[in-house]
Amino acid sequence: MTTMRTLLDLGAIVEAGRARRASTLSISTSTAKTALKRTTWTGSFKTYNLTIALIHNQNKVELECTCADWFKAGGALEADGDRNTRPCKHLLAFSDRCTIPPLMPVDLSSPISVAPLGSGKKSGQTQRKAKAKSPIPFGEQVSAQIGAAIEAMSFEIEELLLDGQVPLVIGPTGCGKTSAHRMIALRNSQSLVESAGAASYSDADLVGIVHVNGDPFPGPVADAFSAAREMGESVLLFLDEFTRFNARAQEALMRPLLPIAADAAQAMGIDTDVPVRVTSAPFWGTEWGPAEKIQISLACNPWGTAIDPALIRRTTPVFADFPNALAEVFSDKVGQAIKASWSAVKDGLWPLPIEYQALAKAKGPDDASIFRAYSYRLRAIDPAAAEGFTATLQSLGF
């Protein structure tokens, strides 16, 4: 993934000292907004507001920070040969968190123009307003970091989809897997078809069934494939909790992961001149759709059912790890406890972590009340894991 830091390194005046200081900062970011050929990222550090904008078809970058270093030290208007604008450490750190959307690439072989947002100057009155601005509420800080983590995951998944691969997102319940796929579908104007795994689902539930009276009852797979085949729609088929499907259902779902060439499909009686995705079910028959119109992404929980090696061979794993920047919003002790829950789930020891939804309810960086409900849920599923979490809290001094 290419970040805006790459563009700053190519077109701006980047001081080595500032770059080192930037690496020590934890900068929040909000969801990037793309309109036409312009993507804008906004974020903050303490009371400073940060903005980076990219005009894709012009290879142009615009920057703004409300810190004194940016305005008073002259960095906004500085020039050195074919490079201009000297970003402050806040903008350098922030640019590392701004991932360029895969569908809006930048020609890195062409010159990158970097300039201050607008005139790069602020009036004294605007400066005083920026300095007097109240700190961002804690809940908004947490939500911004969660949004940034989910957006980053969505870009990672999207890159694989654009490359024709099938992502297998491995992450615990509540880590934003579904939200990431909804972001992807919205960015690409796709129809999103979702289905979450259950052991009771059969291949007929997922593909479809034709009643004895002839009425068809399509499942999510048939819905997705027919929309692509008959309506020409671009479809993203998202199959969550994949390892919870029973073996028969998984077999039916793994078949369409690898597209079939047009001549092979024709030999199967399918009328097509393009590669297709194909599967079938006993009470439905063969179901297919053009591979170029159908993207498939899977997800599963690392705790519980083992992942079939045959599934790994057909997919590319994406790991939904806990973002360190989110832990840094909390106090050291609370952050360590949160990360411990996610690490235990990743290692297959505990069934669920402290989810994003619970973290967003924290009242402040030292709010340990978020652990109470988590402990109760953990105890209901896995008493031994609940005892382990209690021991973790005690070791941290709670």
Q: Between helices 383-395 and 370-381, what is the axis angle to 10°?
A: 150
Residues 158 and 112 in one domain: no
DSSP string across 333-375: HHHHHHHHHHHHHHTTSSS----HHHHTT-SSTT-TTHHHHHH
Residues 6+ apart with CB under 8 A from 50: 27, 41, 42, 43, 44, 64, 65, 66, 90, 91, 94
Answer yes or no: are the C-beta atoms of 174 and 352 closer than 8 Å.
Answer: yes
CATH code of the domain containing 307: 3.40.50.300
CA nearest neighbour of 220 among 195, 245, 251: 195
Residues 218 and 343 in one domain: no
140 lies in some domain: no
Residues 95 and 173 in one domain: no
Strand partners, 53: 40, 62
- Dist. CA 365–CA 331, nearest whole Å: 5
Last-in-domain residue among 270, 293, 319 = 319
Q: What amino acid occupies position 120?
A: G
At residue 120, the pLDDT reads 39
Residues 238 and 365 in one domain: no
Residues 84 and 204 in one domain: no
Sign of dihedral through CA atoms 220, 222, 227, 228?
positive
Residues 254 and 176 in one domain: yes
Condensed to tens digits (0 to 9), the pLDDT of residues 164-205 reads: 999 999 998 889 999 999 999 998 899 999 999 888 888 889
Last-in-domain residue among 71, 104, 134 = 134
Pair type for strands 167-170 and 294-300: parallel
139 lies in some domain: no
CA nearest neighbour of 146 among 371, 325, 341: 325
- Dist. CA 54–CA 104, nearest whole Å: 10
The reported pTM is: 0.69
At residue 89, the pLDDT reads 87
Residues 88 and 20 in one domain: yes
At residue 30, the pLDDT reads 62
Last-in-domain residue among 285, 319, 353 = 319
At residue 20, the pLDDT reads 85
- Counting every residue, how long is the chain? 398
At residue 191, the pLDDT reads 94
Sign of dihedral through CA atoms 170, 174, 176, 178?
positive
Domain containing residue 336: 324-395
Condensed to tens digits (0 to 9), the pLDDT of residues 203-220 reads: 889 999 998 888 999 999
At residue 69, the pLDDT reads 67
Tally of structural domains, the chain = 3
Task: At 129, list the tokens.
Answer: 């307003």
- Dist. CA 276–CA 164, nearest whole Å: 13
Q: What are phi and psi of 193, to 5 degrees?
A: -115, 120
Alpha-carbon separation of residue 122 from 45, 183, 381 (angstroms): 19, 35, 56
Question: Taking phi first (over 0 means left), then psi (-120 to 50 degrees means alpha), and beta for anything else, what does residue 36 get?
Answer: left
Residues 273 and 127 in one domain: no
At residue 128, the pLDDT reads 47
Residues 296 and 337 in one domain: no
C-alpha angle 385/389/392, rounded to 5°?
140
Residues 151 and 254 in one domain: yes
Residues 30 and 174 in one domain: no
Q: pLDDT by residue for the chain (398 residues), tens digit each?
A: 788 999 999 999 998 888 888 888 877 666 688 877 888 988 887 777 889 999 888 889 999 888 766 765 566 777 777 787 888 888 999 998 888 888 777 888 888 999 888 643 444 444 444 444 456 788 888 988 898 889 889 988 998 998 899 999 999 888 999 999 999 999 889 999 999 988 888 888 999 999 888 899 999 999 999 999 999 999 999 999 999 898 888 988 999 999 999 999 999 999 999 999 999 998 899 999 999 999 999 999 877 677 888 899 999 999 998 988 888 889 999 999 999 999 999 888 899 999 999 999 999 999 999 999 999 999 999 999 999 999 999 999 99
Answer yes or no: are the C-beta atoms of 19 and 84 closer than 8 Å.
Answer: no
At residue 73, the pLDDT reads 56
- Dist. CA 387–CA 3, nearest whole Å: 42
At residue 132, the pLDDT reads 46
Residues 86 and 209 in one domain: no
- Dist. CA 41–CA 97, nearest whole Å: 9
370 lies in some domain: yes
DSSP string across 160-189: HHHTT--EEEE--TTSSHHHHHHHHHHHTT
Residues 6+ apart with CB under 8 A from 262: 272, 273, 274, 275, 276
